[in-house]
Structure 1
């Protein structure tokens, strides 16, 4: 991945963290934010990976639709 593409990807991912309200909900505590992501990664390594992905995908799509933002 080229540097410019990687920078864009990181900016978009940061935007998703902010859009989800996690920055405000955690008082911008980077350790908490990272902990949430580590927990999500651990969950995705479990035996219910496919079910969790389906659930999270539905929630994400619903949140995008509610906020009038495209996927």
Structure 2
């Protein structure tokens, strides 16, 4: 991956963390945010990966739709 593409990806992922409200909800505690992400990754390593991805995808799609509706 080229440097510019990686930078864009990291900025977009940071935007998702902000959009989810994690910065405010954790008082910008990066250890907590990382812990949340590590916990999510651990869930994805279980037998329930497909179900978990489906659940999170639906929630994410609703969150995106809510953002569009508010604009």
Range of TM-score over shorter length: over 0.9
User: Alpha-carbon deviations, 1:12-48, whole Å to 9, x = none?
Assistant: 0000000100000000000000000000000000010
Q: What's the TM-score, normalizing by structure 1?
A: 0.95
| Matched ranges for 1:1-71 at <5 A | 1-68=1-68
Q: How many residues align?
A: 69
Stretches (4+) displaced over 2 A:
none
SS at match of 1:67: helix
Q: Which runs of 5+ in 2 are unaligned?
A: none
Larger helix proportion of the pair: 2
Q: What's the TM-score, normalizing by structure 2?
A: 0.95
The two structures, once aligned, show a CA RMSD in angstroms of 1.0
Q: Which runs of 5+ in 1 are unaligned?
A: none
